[in-house]
Amino acid sequence: MSEASKERRAAWDPNLYDAKYAFVWKYGADVISLLAPQAGERVLDLGCGTGHLTAQIADSGATVLGTDRSSEMVNAARRKYPHLQFEVADARDLRFQAEFDAVFSNATLHWILEPERVIQGVWNALRPRGRFVAEFGAKGNIRKIQSALDQVVGELGVARQGEINPWYYPSIGEYAPLLEKNGFEVRFVTLFDRPTPLEDGDAGMRNWIAMFGSDYCAKLSPENREPFYRRVEELLRPDLFREGQWWADFRRLRLVACK
């Protein structure tokens, strides 16, 4: 759930992730239902984060390996679930060969700007007739938030508008052909809106940006940080702040593809 895009500048904070953004993995329960893991299967959880979904998959009786590029997340997962197996691994450079009946991924693939490398690695990792079940950000995900971020870094003169782009949000028409090009048969794919409330009241949006938009924050000098947050909030408040709470304009792509 926390794979980095290229060389992510800021380390993930597992405690903050679990305390404030548990919705990321909790929404993954529906994706596990789609995976339908079976006892005796071997499953790869790609981008396992702090391991909560890995543990849920293991509850089915499947043998699960959780991998994540963030050593902070993997260490947290190991502490929480010492009976399960976790490894630090980059989804762009998977070395598995026909070892898994299924590859599962929740809220990870939108962090990786080289999708075909991931797809090829997943293909290689799967046994014949194995399945790839994933959910991640789709085209239009956080469109309003990203537009405001781009506008404000441009206004502050710290980056050209559109220069910073840490996320990969494909359409169905973009991603499904990549799967087919690399040998997969796409069995199911859907794109849907998921507006999501953020915690921390009036500070919810700036805290979300600090956690997930660190590529933008890294461009800011200390004196620019508060004006940046205030201007982003000003732009977003009419659309994404309701009854004392910020909302994120999430859209998701969910899929099942078979080898």
38-86: per-residue pLDDT in tens?
999 999 999 999 999 999 999 999 999 999 999 999 999 999 999 999 9
| Nearest of 188, 74, 181, 176 to residue 131 by alpha carbon | 188
**The model scores a pTM over 0.85:** yes
pLDDT band at 103 (very low <50, low <70, confident <90, very high): very high
- CA dihedral 138→199→71→125, nearest 10 degrees, is -30
pLDDT over threshold 50, residue 5: no
Q: At residue 168, does pLDDT exceed 90? A: yes
Within 13 Å and on the Cβ side, how many CA atoms surround 19?
9
- In the chain, what are the domains? 14-142+166-199+249-258 (3.40.50.150)
Q: How confident is the model at residue 9 (pLDDT cuts 50, 70, 90)?
A: very low
- Give the pLDDT confidence score for residue 11 in this predicted structure: 62
Pairing assessment for the beta strands 42-46 and 63-68 based on DSSP bridges: parallel
- pLDDT per position as a tens digit, 197-217: 999 999 999 999 998 999 999
For residue 59, give every residue at least 6 positions away whose Cβ sits within 8 Å of its Cβ, in sequence order, or none. none
